[in-house]
Structure 1
Amino acid sequence: MAACISSLHVYPVKSLAGIDVQQSVLTSEGLHYDRRWVITDDQGDFITQRSCARMATLVPALDEHHLILQSPDRRHLFISLTLPEVAPSRVRIFGSECQGLDEGDEAARWLSAFLERPVRLKRVPRDNQRRVSPERIGTHVAHTGFADGYPLLIAATSSLTALNDRLVARALPALPMSRFRPNIVIEGTFPFAEHDSTTLEGENLSLWLCKPCERCRITTINQCSGDIAVPGEPLKTLMTMDHVATGGAFFGENAVVMQGGGQLLYTGMPIRMG
């Protein structure tokens, strides 16, 4: 079977639920609308499922004019897609200092009530300057929104099958791909081909696969319910596997865009690994 894109996933607000899409425009900073918003505390430090698992149960949608967030009890928050006319303010993601545009008090009150803590919602500014770490990509300059560190995460269906085979062999439940929150899922490759390749290419498309993604406790959280079914899994099982030379729990490959900004990606799109 020829390799192709199996599915595409966009996460408009960092650490909230994702949106499965049939097609998406690729930008130099990742898929269109991916991780363009972040929830922070009052000091601008980012908040994720690592400390607030119920964030997984907030479901986003996009229409022509709004980002829409829906809570489990079907309450809705509407955020205009028009950039707010406010001065940028501090956002800190791990050790990375960047800027965000605050979406205002109404959004802050709605999210604070749901998350039961004071928070703000901030958006990537028009002149985003947040760079991907040069430690991994050298002199190439790439930017990302509010993703952990890279604009894209690539994973393969065969890699998930290999992991699930190991989990089932240990009498543990198999997991859906949603646990790993990828942007681009590929099929038609051997297991963990994404770690043995340096590029993902298609017509007028070139992505640099530059770093295996070391996983955190978010992978232990059911992305529908916000619950942890088996503490420590799949991290413990990933650490027993040898698909990455460096010891640790790795799944998926971080990537940056080398060519193809503005191109439409779609499910079924032929690709090749190199």
Structure 2
Amino acid sequence: MSASLHSLHIYPVKSLGGIDVHQSVLTAEGLRHDRRWVITDEKGDFITQRGCARMATLVPAIDEYHLILQSPDRRHLYIPLAPPQASPSRVRIFGNECRGLDEGDEAAHWLSAFLERPVRLKRVPRDNQRRVSPERLGDHVAHTGFADGYPLLVASLSSLAALNERLATQGLPALPMSRFRPNIVIEGAPPFAEHGMTRLEGENLSLWLCKPCERCRITTINQCSGDIAVPGEPLKTLMAMDHVSAGRAFFGENAVVMQGDGQSLYTKMALRMR
């Protein structure tokens, strides 16, 4: 089945705003710079929009030397892309223990003041060993940074259109793709075809579409304002649809890299699904 790459998105700091890019380098752990940082409490437990919706309003950017975070009042935090001279410390994501390099007190104080709670900013170490679910992947070994569980999330424009059509029948507003925070958005395939396929391929590229993504309350949060416009939506509507399994809210496919480490991905790139 033919498709094309419509858009690419990275989220350098887990659960903060995203960056739309026209081109990105694929690594074995996902798109370059995607979810390489995480905000934790002082014990190392991760913090996301699930418990702090205003995280959505922190806007990231990346230049040649820095990760840059901008608050709504246009204050900026600059984090060098060069890794800090720090020993790895504890990070805990959904019960999964991994390690991160602490970005220091200046970053911690800036973020703590904005989020109104004591936090630390940590990045993925160079010797990252956080493994993607062996229970799902079997003998295939893949690693990810600070994503929930998988290094890539693939979504489809036609699937979003089908969801928005269902929302419209209830008098509810259409949602942008940003609600679902995908990395790769495809176009040209039928609605929800991604759930019946196992591979997304291009020249020297193969991604394993290995698990439908069950969605959480972050999809109810406006990714520009941090507000919840319609409580429970789109989760309630997704749970009533049967594109994967009625009664559970699925949108998009989790994926791992089978081939293509180091390759550039770009919008309008020809793809095929099988």
2:263 is matched with 263
Please say if 1:8 is aligned against 2:1.
no
Cα displacement string for residues 18-40 of structure 1 (whole angstroms, at most 9, x for unaligned residues): 00000000000000000000000
1:208 maps to what in 2?
208
Aligned ranges for residues 58-97 of structure 1 at < 5 Å?
A: 58-97=58-97
1:128 aligned partner: 128
In the other structure, the counterpart of 2:245 is 245
2:186 is aligned to: 186
Q: 1:222-269 CA deviation, whole Å, 9 max, x = no partner?
A: 000000000000000000000003630000000000000000000000
After superposition, give the CA deviation of every residue in 1:129-178 in whole Å (9 maximum; x if it has no partner): 00001111101000000000000000000000000000000110110000
Paired-residue identity, %: 81
Distance of 2:208 and 2:246 partners within structure 1 = 20
Contact 2:239-2:246 at 8 Å conserved across structures: no
Tell me whether 1:154 sits opposite 2:154 in the alignment: yes
What's the counterpart of residue 106 of structure 1? 106
SS of 1:3's partner is strand
Gaps of 5+ in 2: none
Aligned to 1:199: 199
Letter in 1 for 2:234: P
What are the Cα deviations for residues 42-63 of structure 1, in whole angstroms up to 9, with x where unaligned?
0000000000000000000000
User: Residue 193 of structure 1: CA displacement?
Assistant: 1.0
Ranges of 4+ aligned residues in structure 1 off by more than 3 Å = none
Q: Is the 8 A contact 2:240 2:246 kept in 1?
A: no
- For 1:230, the aligned partner's letter is V
Q: Does 1:41 align with 2:44?
A: no
Stretch deviating more after TM superposition (240-249 or 52-61): 240-249
Indicate the SS of the match to 2:240. Answer: coil
* Cα pair distance change 1:79/1:143, threshold 3 Å: same
| 8 Å contact kept, 2:2–2:273 | no
SS at match of 1:86: coil
Q: What per-residue deviation string (whole Å, max 9, x for no partner) do you get for residues 204-237 of structure 1?
A: 0000000000000000000000000000000000
Secondary structure at 1:122 match in 2: strand
- Are 2:215 and 2:235, in contact at CA under 8 Å, matched by a contact in 1? yes
Instruction: After TM superposition, give the deviation of residue 95 of structure 1 in Å.
Output: 1.4
Task: Trace 1:20-31 onto structure 2 (pairs within 5 A).
Answer: 20-31=20-31
Distance across 1 between alignment mates of 2:79 and 2:154: 29
Structure 1 position 217 matched with structure 2 position 221: no
RMSD over aligned CA atoms reads: 0.9
CA distance in 2 between counterparts of 1:21 and 1:40 reads 27
1:17 is the counterpart of 2:17: yes
Q: Quote the Cα distance in structure 2 between the aligned partners of 1:197 and 1:170.
A: 30
User: TM-score with structure 2 length normalisation?
Assistant: 0.99
CA distance in 2, matches of 1:262, 1:178: 26
Cα distance change on mapping 1:137 and 1:149 into 2, 3 Å: same
Structure-1-length-normalised TM-score: 0.99
Residue 70 of structure 1 aligns with an amino acid whose one-letter code is Q
CA distance in 2, matches of 1:35, 1:170: 35
Cα distance, 1:93 vs structure 2: 0.2
Alpha carbons 2:67, 2:80 under 8 Å: kept: yes
Cα displacement (A) at 1:2:
4.7
Rounded Cα–Cα distance in structure 2 between residues aligned with 1:267 and 1:96: 34
- Once residues 246 and 133 of structure 1 are traced to their aligned partners in structure 2, the CA distance between those partners, rounded to angstroms, is 24
Quote the Cα distance in structure 2 between the aligned partners of 1:2 and 1:201: 10
